[in-house]
Structure 1
Amino acid sequence: MTAPRPASVHASAPGQTGAGDAAGGPGNELRLLLILSALMSFASVSTDMYLPALPTISRALHTTSASIELTFSAFLVGFSLGQLLWGPISDRYGRRLPIAIGLVLFTIGSVGCALSTTVTQMMVWRVVQALGACVGPVLSRAMVRDLYGREQSARMLSTLILIMGVAPLVGPLLGGQVLAFWSWQGIFWTLAGIGVLTLASLAALPESLPPARRSATPLRHTLGSYWELLGDVRLMGYALSGGFFYGGAYAFIVGTPFAYIDYYHVSPQAYGWLFGLNIVGMMVANFVNRRLLERFGSERLFHIGTWILALTGIVLAINARFGWGGLPGLVVPIFFYMSMNGLIVANSVAGALSAFAHKAGSASSLLGAMHYGSGILSAAMLGWFSDGTPWTMAWIMALAGIGSLATSAISTRIRAARGLATEASG
């Protein structure tokens, strides 16, 4: 599948690769797609591979499932806060150097996790790992915004998510096999190897932000820039709605190992297949989204996604509360719930960044921090309210789905009301 051409071609400074060069031909576009997909997958790779090992790690470190779930929250803390740093840095200094530094941090953090002997040590190294891992998704989104307009960005992001879907699909399966034939430490050694290989691939990644287009704003003014972005109703509507989706998604990611493996006695290897089923749904939905964008537009598809998300979340909660359907009663609604990634994520990101071409890195950072930051709360809530059944995970996912629908509807009405007020005053 070939990505669309950039909406515009920007001139490059002498000796630099410009935006037009970065995506200027079929070969370059394919190379860009593959590398950006790999970078965007670091969030899922960092979490999905060790999911089948969570119960094993809990026993090996002599701790509770709630404490092990905090290693996930620790990762999300580093992942969210790190994005707020990398975006402004990349707006000022370009995209490639921050990506390289981030990959080095990711590799060091992965090695630290492999060598951990206590849950506290693992939490610390997970933060380091996350500070590096977050550079991939945030700067991949920024690079897409460097090169494409809104509708083209939505198509490109859908294509990237479609390709990167291989990572979370393979992640739990690979993690289960590494656990079976090696150890839980081997999962983190494998992640360290992935970090090194991706770092080597940067030699083929062109710079999408030439010096002439970089921000001249000193980094100490970053806080003021974020404050300006927080006041934008359009960006905040998309960010909050997408954040609710991610909150529900991370409740699924953290909750299903114990719901499936401990509660329903699914093997770690079979868990990988059940987890991968949802990734297939995401990939199909992203493919459908890409095909329907021209006909319906990203805004309408985004709202359709939030409606389906809320409805399937409610069905999931009812099934979990009353035990209806057993394991399939969880697997089926979760499949449709997680598939809405294909309609919500790409369209909300494209809509949020469409008005911020001049500070795509900062806007992408804020967006990512709010998205992944919501996972901190949902993962923590699983530990606080866990009753040993899938019910806690299910009601958190249901509330997240309703929240995504509500914030998208409210922000749309506010924007419409302001538009009418502007027309009246004019």
Structure 2
Amino acid sequence: MNNKLPPLWLVVGLMMFPQIVETIYSPVLTQIATQFRVSDGQASQTLSVYFLAFAVGVVCWGRLCDLIGRRPAMLAGLLTYGVGTLLALLANQFETLLLARVISAFGAAVGSVVTQTMLRDCYQGSELARVFSVMGIALSLSPVLGLVSGGLLAEQFGYLGVFSGLLLLALILGGIARWRLPETRPAITTRVALWPLACRMMKDGGLWCCAVLVSLFNTMLFGYYSLAPFLFAELGLSASEFGYSGILLALATLIGSLLNKHLLGRGWQPSSLVRLACVLALVAGLLVWTSQDSLWFLLPMMGVVVAFGIAIPNVLSQALLGYREVAGSAGALFGLAYYLLLSLGLALAATLQDLGMLLLGCGLVAVLCSGRRST
């Protein structure tokens, strides 16, 4: 068994992968609605369908990384993602596009659950929290890489250019992972039946709070990706101009991650940082709600993203401390829970078509949940 640490730059790339592929896609939502003759709400629903399939993929790849190893599971997932993206390139009906999105999401889930499992293989305790914080800083680049490149591709080549870029990304990542990704599965890994483990986790109230918090913060972030393109269009702005908003979001994520790293170094506990992030998200969501009829809404939206950068590393680093011996399978079930909740959140976002209301509601529930988690 090779327990060598994987190259950090490769782990960063694989963890960024799911978010990048979503943010690249976001600028073409208005073109998807026009090209396939569907409503704005139906176009936005492609995100909720994506995360529903993503949730199933998290279970599959998380389970497989315990059974066959982290490396084989990662390579199989990247291949699956490539197949789905190729189908999206060939789609000429909306139903075919939805199927392609389902396959792509199922494959892309490997970048979330297997990468997190590999980090939990290699790090523990406060060291793991610091690594997740560093990963958060690196992830701050993903909105820039995704939204800006997606906006430019959409402007120059349309939605087919975006899907071509996604296919190229899958090929590059798959080739590098095959070349440099080691196996990190520890010898203590226990192959347990999923149902007893699921029953154990369902009785864990703290774990449920973690799943709800992760889903709420991701709903706020991806709610922006699914609804903001239409807000920009109403303001007379182009897809590429929407893409440039990724620079502001990246800056906000970087600020949140650096602040989180600084406060951890000053002795703040992860639970305190999560509560701070929830209050910040609620206040910022209220300000977005009152200003979304102008481009000024981007300023409080940055506050929401700062809160995301603080909350997510701390929730993820603490969620599965009691499940280290079954990290892959536990991570799969945990991911299933929060991605199913995220899918529901994005379905609600598509129905509401109101970014401010979505953020305000999510922020309020997050504050209530963080208070319950600390008791």
TM-score bucket of the superposed structures, by smaller chain: over 0.9
Q: Within 5 A, what are the aligned runs for 1:141-160?
A: 141-160=116-135
Question: Residues 363-415 of structure 1, C-alpha deviation per residue, up to 9 Å, x if partnerless?
Answer: 322332333323322322233233xxxxx2211111111111111111221xx
Q: Within 5 A, what are the aligned runs for 1:242-253?
A: 242-253=214-225
* CA positional deviation for 1:273: 1.3
8 Å contact from structure 2 (residues 281, 304) kept in 1: yes
8 Å contact from structure 1 (residues 278, 338) kept in 2: yes
- CA distance in 1 between counterparts of 2:139 and 2:217 reads 19
The answer as to 2:112 corresponding to 1:137 is: yes
* CA positional deviation for 1:282: 0.6
User: Whose radius of gyration is greater, 1 or 2?
Assistant: 1
8 Å contact from structure 1 (residues 235, 351) kept in 2: no
TM-score (normalizing by structure 2): 0.95
Moved runs in structure 1, 4+ residues, more than 3 A? none
Residue 11 of structure 2: SS of its match in structure 1? helix
* CA positional deviation for 1:195: 0.7
Opposite residue 133 of structure 1, the aligned amino acid is A
Residue in 1 that maps onto 2:2 = 17
- CA distance in 2 between counterparts of 1:182 and 1:247 reads 29
8 Å contact from structure 1 (residues 86, 365) kept in 2: yes
Residue 182 of structure 2: SS of its match in structure 1? coil
- CA distance in 2 between counterparts of 1:251 and 1:277 reads 16
- CA distance in 2 between counterparts of 1:406 and 1:181 reads 45
User: Identity, % of aligned pairs?
Assistant: 22
Equivalent of 2:38 in 59, 63, 78: 63
- CA distance in 1 between counterparts of 2:195 and 2:250 reads 36
* CA positional deviation for 1:307: 1.3
Residue in 2 that maps onto 1:335 = 302
Structure 1: any 5+ residue segments left out of the alignment? 1-15, 23-27, 387-391, 414-426
The answer as to 2:355 corresponding to 1:370 is: no
* CA positional deviation for 1:176: 1.6
- CA distance in 2 between counterparts of 1:341 and 1:273 reads 19
- CA distance in 1 between counterparts of 2:347 and 2:202 reads 25
* CA positional deviation for 1:305: 0.9
- CA distance in 2 between counterparts of 1:158 and 1:133 reads 22
- CA distance in 2 between counterparts of 1:55 and 1:357 reads 43
Q: Within 5 A, what are the aligned runs for 1:19-418?
A: 21-22=4-5, 31=7, 33-202=8-177, 203-210=179-186, 212-217=187-192, 221-260=193-232, 262-295=233-266, 296-320=268-292, 323=293, 326-328=294-296, 330-386=297-353, 392-413=354-375
TM-score (normalizing by structure 1): 0.84
* CA positional deviation for 1:94: 1.7
- CA distance in 1 between counterparts of 2:341 and 2:360 reads 14
Residue in 2 that maps onto 1:5 = none
How many aligned positions are there?
373
Give the stretch that moved more between structures: 360-369 or 226-235: 360-369
8 Å contact from structure 2 (residues 209, 373) kept in 1: yes
Residue 206 of structure 1: SS of its match in structure 2? coil
- CA distance in 1 between counterparts of 2:302 and 2:333 reads 28
Give the stretch that moved more between structures: 234-243 or 130-139: 234-243
- CA distance in 1 between counterparts of 2:48 and 2:206 reads 28
8 Å contact from structure 1 (residues 100, 199) kept in 2: yes
- CA distance in 1 between counterparts of 2:143 and 2:334 reads 21
* CA positional deviation for 1:276: 2.6
- CA distance in 2 between counterparts of 1:362 and 1:283 reads 31
- CA distance in 2 between counterparts of 1:306 and 1:282 reads 15
Residue 322 of structure 2: SS of its match in structure 1? coil
- CA distance in 2 between counterparts of 1:119 and 1:375 reads 23
Query: What RMSD, in angstroms, separates the aligned Cα atoms of the two structures?
Result: 1.6
Residue 347 of structure 1: SS of its match in structure 2? helix
- CA distance in 2 between counterparts of 1:62 and 1:208 reads 47
Residue 266 of structure 1: SS of its match in structure 2? coil
Give the stretch that moved more between structures: 82-91 or 102-111: 82-91
- CA distance in 2 between counterparts of 1:372 and 1:34 reads 26
